Structure 1
Amino acid sequence: MAVLVALGAFLMTLAGGWTAQRVTDRRHLVLGLAGGLMLGVVGLDLLPEALEAAGTEVFGVPAALLLFVGGFLLAHLVERLLAVQQVAHGGEETVPTAGRSRDDRAPEVGLTAAAAMVGHSAMDGVAIGAAFQVGGGMGTAVALAVVAHDFADGFNTYTITSLYGNARRKALAMLFADAVAPVVGAASTLFFTIPEQLLGGYLGLFGGALLYLAAAEILPEAHHEHPARSTVLCTVAGVGFIWLVVGLAG
């Protein structure tokens, strides 16, 4: 049953990626919406789950929050290191070009972020499988949340990969991997389960990295060329959509 439900997540992920690539003429709106979806997923879904699952404290601070901050710093460090490496390899280029800010971004950052989202989607599949092991009601509630927000996952995976200058085929490959991941994760629960505290720690770490990408990269890029009110409204709409999904699942 869990694997069949995960197929719904597969289709929703592809639908999200298809939507992202079809609206390239409104790129600022796409990025604004993606930033809102990412912010909503982190603040309203990932972080609460991480705090509940991880449980333990380290020197007076919940372990999930420490890993959340660590994920944010790790994403920042990885981006800076890759950006410095790219500048060092392309130091001979001296003529500025239009859209230079996008070209200067290291494609590896987008691929790394997308790979992290694939890992998160696999954990979504594991969550579906584990929930169905507890009971049908729990499995249905978790499946609803996962299938609904996997549209956002597909949307964000394609957007992040392409935003950092990766070719369309790479963005599509990461999108497909993200779509398959929940099915693989759900199937894996037939053989083993992940300890709750470890899962909570992972969600905290991933949430911090995702927040960095939303706040430091996606949203600033959305307003770089089109600082329009409609972009802000798309961001708010993205957060509101995730709130609705979490509320319905609860």
Structure 2
Amino acid sequence: MTAVLVAAGAFLTTLIGGIVAQRTGDRRHLVLGFAAGLMLGVVAFDLLPEALNSAPQELHGVPQALLMFAGGFLAIHVVERAVAIHRGHEGEYAAHTHGQGHAHGARQGVGLAAAGALVGHSLLDGFAIGAAFQAGGSVGTAVAVAVVAHDFADGFNTYTVTRMYGNNRVRAVALLAADALAPVTGAAITLLFAIPEHTLGLYLGFFAGFLLYLATSDILPEAHSPHPSRTTLLCTLLGVGFMWLVVGYAD
């Protein structure tokens, strides 16, 4: 039950992250730069180490978690190329209007899939809190600090990614609400059973590749296209640094 109460803190920080993302206005490029930094930090300092720790077994000399990492990166790349998504660079969040409705719908689908993956990650955050408290109070506290802190980034990114891909505000808010509820749900489920460690590692590796692609191929170019400034780059560095501090403090 302690894990569920702690997960409620993640619920609040997720909502706060989404609210901040909604109120950025004409500073969207700074928000996107910071979001990309947060995502890079999550991948490098949190997801990949956890994936390698949970699924270290090798396949033809390469850890399975890293194979899934490459698979996640390539999967979203193939999806984007297959539907020939055209990247627009509007100054405000708005539905993108293109000549082909199918391409526009597919582009929205990518945003929904990305946000859905973030919701899935938040669900596993709840699992992580529950499993950590099963291992001991000190371990549970350390994991809870990391989860509650970086769920701000999850909420921020869920809203930002959903809107950036042309989805309306209602969808973005709905996914934000799902993302906020996910840690509490995950923690509650661990009262019944836990995900096998190896399966968890493979999932985290795949999700890390997914996030890396979005950060480097979509969000960073979007951030720099209207305002190619040093300030945007600084926001990206701050995002990476923030996640470094969060993960380092938790460890």
Q: Which interval holds the TM-score relative to the shorter structure?
A: over 0.9
Taking structure 1 as reference, are residues 15 and 98 closer, same or farther at Cα in structure 2, changes over 3 Å only? closer
1:147 alignment partner in structure 2:
148
Code of the aligned partner of 1:117: L
C-alpha deviation, 1:97, in angstroms: 11
Deviations 1:17-51 (A, max 9, x none): 00011112201001000000000000111001101
Letter in 2 for 1:51: L
Distance 1:15 1:216 in 2: 26
Match of 2:65 in 1: 64
Deviation of residue 98 (structure 1)?
Answer: 6.9
> Is the Cα contact below 8 Å between 1:2 and 1:132 reproduced in 2?
yes
Structure 2 equivalent of residue 179 of structure 1: 180
Counterparts of 1:56 and 1:198, CA distance in 2: 12
CA distance in 2, matches of 1:145, 1:49: 13
Q: Which residue of 2 aligns with 1:118?
A: 119
User: Which residue matches 2:225?
Assistant: 224
Look up the match of 2:110: 109
Unpaired runs of 5+ in structure 2?
99-103
One-letter code of the match for 1:109? V
2:131 corresponding residue in structure 1 = 130
8 Å contact from structure 2 (residues 95, 166) kept in 1: no
Asked if structure 2 preserves the Cα contact closer than 8 Å seen for 1:82 and 1:108, the reply is no
- Tell me the distance in 2 between the aligned counterparts of 1:234 and 1:175: 23
The residue correspondences of 1:17-166 to structure 2 (distance < 5 A) are 17-83=18-84, 102-104=96-98, 106-166=107-167
RMSD: 2.0
Q: Percent identity?
A: 65
TM-score (norm 2): 0.92
Which runs of 5 or more residues in structure 1 are unaligned? 87-95
* Superposition deviation, residue 220 in structure 1: 0.3
Cα distance in 1 for partners of 2:185, 2:227 equals: 39
* 1:221 match: secondary structure: helix
Q: Tell me if structure 2 keeps the 8 A contact 1:102–1:163.
A: no
Q: Secondary structure at the match of 2:46?
A: helix
